[in-house]
Amino acid sequence: ILFSPHSSSQDIHDLICQVAQVRRASKISLKSRNGCHVPIVPSMPQNSVDSPYTVSVTKPADTESEVQALTAVLSKVGEQFNRAFKMENFRTELDKRLNMIEKRLEAESLKLVEIEKCKKDISEVRDQVWQHGRKINQSPSKNLPYKDICLTTPLFISNLENIAHQIHTDHFNVVLQYILTQETVEYLKKPTFDIWHWEPNEMLSLMEHMYHELGLMQEFNINPVTLKRWLLCIQVNYRNNPFHNFRHCFCVCQMMYGMIHLTGLNNQLPKEDLGILITAAICHDLDHPGYNNTYQINARTELAIRYNDISPLENHHCAVAFQILNNPETNIFANVDKDTFQRIRKGMTMLILATDMARHGEILENFKKRIEEGFDFAKKEHTDTLKMVLIKCCDISNEVRPLEVSEPWVDCLLEEYFNQSDREKIEGLPVAPFMDREKVTKPTAQIGFIRFVLIPMFEAVAKIFPPITESLVRQLKSSLQKYEALKEEEEKRRKAVQDQQQQGKAT
């Protein structure tokens, strides 16, 4: 086998398992010709054909038999309960460990029968522990301390974690694969793509397809398994907010992918820049807490303090993105050279920080100046400004989509806004009028945003890429007319109610 000095021990282990034609969860060991143990690490001594290492393999036991063994261990543990010790700490620690294992399994989105069976067995083990605890608690002796377990407990917890690790390593790559039809492949490139009809696993597969179709796998020499791990890790690090969630991440990524094809950027920019655009779009809202920068600063949160009130959320998104990339198992750029990685890091940071709406006016004005100068793809300062405007367009692009796709996003955004304004009222903080549930409506929330933010920005981009006018700017103007009509209807209804109230008072 050949491997890079930057490979992890797990990668080398997997290579040896592959050559030995055994499961990756198998336990293996290496010995030299003189019987000395050889550690499986990147710095392991190089040998030759004349001095091969001997591979010893211990195949993993069947999951069901492992769980049965666990049940037997649990029975023995139950027999050694000592009423003289407190059990509360053990139960708390056990629950914590079990929850961590379950979350790890769920986080990988593995739809495997073995996983579901293991989770069921874990649940049964937990029930047995709790039932045994209740029996001890019901003891007639009131002088005994409340619940504990003997020192054999850590062995039980360790075995349980080993089983979870075994399943994790053995089936990590057996995520359901989706075969995309040609119709879906072409539809994915269009801004009209309906992002509401896709499950999380399907969205992951679509994102994976984007990296393959744009040639990014070859450009950055990305390991396909690492790409899967990275995307799963990205999904886990998006919170379940009404708006800033993993579906929003996919929405922005898909729009960026669509813009690249709509504008022909795949023929104008190098693949490295395309990779930075797509990756920054995916990472741009990582671990968003659901409360914007204004709240962070006014509430003096840890993020605001850490980043000195300067784009606290966007700085946090960057930090989380590179924490994930700092892990060898989830670093899709592990095989690029140092200079390339520095360019990627700098480019992603620039784009994610550009999504702070507080910088909107500054970035758009700089972009318009570049256009007035005569936009030149050969000038880095021009393309950098273009990329910042593109990620901004994609981040707030919902209204360029068809009505049936865009309107549910307004509801999601208003729900998140109202959650924040409710909290601000409770905490005595300033409340933005466009977030106050007592003042804002759909039309009032969207009309000004479309007219003064979206249309000017997309029209500016359309000066470089004319197809945007026909497909995206036209849809924005149509959305604006729709919300203006809704506003007129609301005003008519409000006036009719007021007239009725006045007539009632007069009567």
pLDDT score of 5: 73
Q: For the chain, give the mean pLDDT.
A: 82
**Coil vs helix vs strand at 57:** strand
How far is the C-alpha of 80 from the C-alpha of 154, rounded, in Å? 13
pLDDT score of 337: 97
Quick check: is 244 catalytic? yes
How far is the C-alpha of 153 from the C-alpha of 38, rounded, in Å? 33
135-185 per-position pLDDT tens digit: 434 433 333 332 222 222 233 333 333 433 333 333 344 345 678 999 999
195-204 per-position pLDDT tens digit: 999 999 999 9
For residues 97 and 294, which has the higher predicted lDDT (pLDDT)? 294
pLDDT score of 24: 76
Whether residue 246 is annotated as binding a ligand: the answer is yes
Q: How confident is the model at residue 70 (pLDDT cuts 50, 70, 90)?
A: low
Q: List C-alpha distances in Å: 359 to 174, 324, 488.
A: 43, 26, 32
Q: Which helix (H) or strand (E) holds 27?
A: strand 27-31
pLDDT score of 162: 40
pLDDT score of 60: 53
pLDDT score of 160: 38
Judge whether residue 81 has pLDDT over 60: no
Whether residue 247 is annotated as binding a ligand: the answer is yes
Judge whether residue 309 has pLDDT over 60: yes
Residue linked to tokens 């509430």:
299
Mean pLDDT, range 462-478, rounded to an integer = 96
Structure tokens at 440: 């804002």
Partners of 249 in the β-ladder: none
Mean pLDDT, range 256-260, rounded to an integer = 98
Whether residue 285 is annotated as binding a ligand: the answer is yes
Looking at residue 426, its amino acid is I
Structure tokens at 203: 């969205």
**Coil vs helix vs strand at 507:** coil
Judge whether residue 49 has pLDDT over 50: yes
Whether residue 446 is annotated as binding a ligand: the answer is yes
Half-sphere exposure of 123 (CA within 13 A, CB side): 8
Task: Residue 461: name the closest of 362, 394, 410, 407 by CA.
Answer: 394
Rounded to 5°, the CA angle 54-58-60 comes to 150
323-350 per-position pLDDT tens digit: 999 999 999 999 999 999 999 999 999 9
Judge whether residue 249 has pLDDT over 50: yes
For residues 46 and 237, which has the higher predicted lDDT (pLDDT)? 237
Q: Which helix (H) or strand (E) holds 449?
A: helix 442-449
9-21 per-position pLDDT tens digit: 788 888 888 788 8
Q: How confident is the model at residue 68 (pLDDT cuts 50, 70, 90)?
A: low
Write down all domains in the chain, each with its CATH number in brackets.
Answer: 9-58 (no CATH), 63-171 (no CATH), 185-403 (1.10.1300.10)
How far is the C-alpha of 285 from the C-alpha of 113, rounded, in Å? 33
Residue linked to tokens 């933005």:
432
Percent of the chain with pLDDT over 90: 60
Mean pLDDT, range 63-83, rounded to an integer = 61
259-272 per-position pLDDT tens digit: 999 999 999 999 99
- The one catalytic residue in 13, 132, 171, 244 is 244
pLDDT score of 116: 45
Judge residue 289's burial from the number of C-beta atoms within 10 Å of its C-beta, 0-12 exposed, 13-18 middle, 19 or more buried: middle
Q: What is the dihedral of CA 192, 195, 196, 199, to 10 degrees?
A: 150
How far is the C-alpha of 137 from the C-alpha of 135, rounded, in Å? 5
Lowest mean pLDDT among 80-89, 164-173, 215-224: 164-173
Q: Which long-range contacts (CB under 8 A, 24 or more apart) does 407-415 make?
A: 408/196, 409/243, 409/251, 410/442, 410/445, 410/446, 412/242, 412/243, 413/242, 413/243, 413/445, 414/440, 414/442, 414/445, 415/242, 415/243
- Check: CB of residue 61 under 8 Å from CB of residue 39: no
Mean pLDDT, range 484-502, rounded to an integer = 87
pLDDT score of 484: 95
CB atoms within 10 A of CB 471: 15
Lowest mean pLDDT among 16-25, 57-66, 343-352, 472-481: 57-66
Task: Residue 249: name the closest of 290, 208, 291, 279 by CA.
Answer: 279
- Residues in Cβ contact with 143 at an 8 Å cutoff, skipping those fewer than 6 apart: none
Percent of the chain with pLDDT over 70: 76
**Coil vs helix vs strand at 357:** helix
How far is the C-alpha of 276 from the C-alpha of 274, rounded, in Å? 5
For residues 219 and 153, which has the higher predicted lDDT (pLDDT)? 219
Lowest mean pLDDT among 61-70, 208-217, 357-366, 426-435: 61-70
Whether residue 248 is annotated as binding a ligand: the answer is yes
pLDDT score of 494: 85
Structure tokens at 164: 């979870």
Judge whether residue 119 has pLDDT over 50: no
- Check: CB of residue 146 under 8 Å from CB of residue 137: yes
Looking at residue 434, its amino acid is F
Q: How confident is the model at residue 235 (pLDDT cuts 50, 70, 90)?
A: very high
Mean pLDDT, range 455-483, rounded to an integer = 96
- Check: CB of residue 458 under 8 Å from CB of residue 472: yes
Burial 18-46 (b: 16+ CB within 10 A, else e): eeeebebbbebebeeeeeeeeebeeeeee
